[in-house]
Homo-oligomer: A and B are copies of this chain.
Amino acid sequence: MKPIYMDYSATTPIKPEVLQVMEEALREVYGNPSSVYELGQTSKRRVEEAREQLASLLGAKSREVFFTSSGTEADNWAVHIAKKTKPGKHMITCTIEHHAILHTMEAAEKEGYEVTYLPVDKYGFIDLEELESAIREDTILISIMYVNNEIGTIMPVEEIGAIAKKHGVLFHTDGVQALGNVPLDMSKSNIDMMSMSAHKIYGPKGVGALYIRQGTRVVPLLQGGAQERRMRAGTENVPGIMAFGEAARLSKLHLKEHVERLTKLRERLKKGLMQIPESFFNGHPEKRHPGNVNICFKYIEGESMLLLLDAIGVSASSGSACTSGSLDPSHVLMGIGLPHEIAHGSLRLTLGDFTTEEDVDYVIEHLPEIINRLREMSPLTPRE
């Protein structure tokens, strides 16, 4: 049984080129970048090269890229920056953000901030007029994700950014799922801050970054040493950062081809699976992550589906990787208005650069048996 990995939005395997950079770094580039001697200065140069590689993928300046330990830290930091540098007590986000934003917002509410959670339509889009009228005198931040991690919807971030700009409000976007899957050019963008994570673009876990537009006031979330121009303390994860740089370089090199190839595979998978009766496709048909297929199958529950898929070698997810350990139905699927009994039966298959047409066909061939089996076991399935 060949293992078929279809959970690229949860995390990606590391590409061989990236692995090589990382392994060499782990062996040799061990100096502390803050050190005066050559070994340390070499580490520092490598970190700066990686920063340039990531900046180049973003169409940004190197000085606008700050490395963190994860997308989560970048999200937390962005909210922290708004809280500490802007006067005002109101923030705007939407109901289908990643928990790294939602729970950070909830923590801010406990501190006395007011947060508007904009609803989304069935595709996962916020209403731009509603956004604009939610802006108040004391609004300090708008944070709307770029690409939703569950249903793959690509948000109109430039329009959102334009509204934010018009009202002089800071605009952050969680770009963790966008990086490497959507062409980016920060030099022409309305985005003030964007979160990223290496392990979603064939890089290692434990490295992320926050893009911060030049001219934005910055304060650190993690206090300590003078790393990252005094804005993010902690000895740099040099091998991880170098690997992130290499992953960014590869991503830039292959972006167009990557998107085209995945889009084709995605459409093939979607077509195949939508043959299954009483299935509902989630998210927008076109404005979506190139590798994301999210479908709900009525009368059955997600985890059971995942276990049976795993038994035939297919790694998949039901809701986000983070929520699938829990019992609650995904807040994203609830957010786009699905009733509980449908939301529970969701399957997310996310394709990536190692996915083949055969993998897709294998799933198309075997998923119907699994669905049937679970439906036969379900007390919700109507009797013939």
Which A residues are closer than 8 A to B by beta carbons? 3, 5, 7, 10-14, 19, 22-23, 26-27, 30-32, 34-40, 69-73, 75-76, 98-101, 103-104, 106-107, 197, 199, 204-207, 221-227, 233-240, 303, 306-307, 309-310, 314-318, 320-322, 324-326
Contact = CB atoms under 8 A, between A and B. Distances in A.
B224 A75 contact: yes
Nearest to A39: B315
Contacts of A234: 69-73, 100
Given A26-B22, A36-B310, A235-B70, A104 B321 contact: no
Contact of A34 (B5, B36, B325): B325
B36 A224 contact: no
B99 A223 contact: yes
A76 B303 contact: no
Contacts of A206: 69, 206-207, 236-237, 239-240
A306 B37 contact: yes
A70 B70 CA distance: 12
Given A69-B73, A234-B69, A32 B14 contact: no
A26 B27 contact: no
B27 A315 contact: no
A237 B313 CA distance: 24
B205 A36 contact: no
A240 B205 contact: yes
A19 B239 CA distance: 12
Contact of A72 (B34, B222, B326): B222
A204 to B, nearest CB: 7
A26 B204 CA distance: 7
Nearest to A77: B222
A222 B317 CA distance: 24
A69 B32 CA distance: 16
A100 B39 contact: no
Nearest to A104: B223
B99 A233 contact: yes
14 contacts: A5-B39, A10-B40, A11-B235, A14-B30, A36-B325, A37-B314, A37-B315, A38-B315, A72-B233, A76-B224, A99-B226, A106-B223, A225-B321, A237-B240
Nearest to A36: B306
A72 B7 contact: no
Given A26-B14, A27-B14, A235-B205, A225 B324 contact: no
Given A7-B32, A233-B99, A316 B226 contact: no
Nearest to A107: B223
Nearest to A314: B37
Nearest to A23: B23
Given A205-B238, A224-B98, A239-B204, A7 B35 contact: yes
The 3 closest A-B pairs by CB, nearest first: A206-B237, A69-B69, A100-B224
A34 B73 contact: no
A76 B222 contact: yes
Contacts of A317: 35-36
Contacts of A205: 235-240
- Considering residues A37, A70, A222, which has the most beta carbons from chain B within 10 angstroms of its beta carbon? A37
A19 B30 CA distance: 12
